[in-house]
C-alpha cells in the first residue's frame, strides 16, 4: 500500500491532479479482488463430477 501512496504522491506532484485518485485505485483493486473471489468460488463449486472427485481426493 505504501508503494501506491508514493506513486499517487508522484502523480499529484507531476500532473497537479485534484481528483482523489487514491480512492479510484483502491476501488479498482477491490473490484479485482472480488472478481478473483468470484472466479475462485465458481471453480470450487464447479460441476457435480468435480465435487465428487475432490471429495474422493481430500476425503471430505
Number of domains in the chain: 1
Contact 47, 53 (CB under 8 A): no
First to last CA, the chain: 38
The per-residue pLDDT for range 9-54, each reduced to its tens digit, is 766 666 655 555 555 566 666 666 676 666 655 555 556 666 666 5
Residue 5: is its pLDDT beyond 70?
yes
Contact 25, 4 (CB under 8 A): yes
Can you tell me the distance from the alpha carbon of 26 to that of 32, in angstroms, rounded to the nearest whole number?
10
Entry pTM: 0.25
Domain containing residue 18? 2-58
Amino acid at each position: 500500500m505504501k508503494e501506491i501512496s508514493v506513486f499517487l504522491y508522484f502523480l499529484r506532484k507531476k500532473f497537479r491532479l485534484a481528483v482523489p485518485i487514491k480512492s479510484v485505485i483502491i476501488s479498482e483493486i477491490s473490484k479485482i479482488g472480488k472478481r478473483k473471489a468470484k472466479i475462485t468460488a465458481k471453480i470450487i463449486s464447479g460441476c457435480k463430477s468435480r465435487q465428487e472427485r475432490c471429495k474422493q481426493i481430500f476425503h471430505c
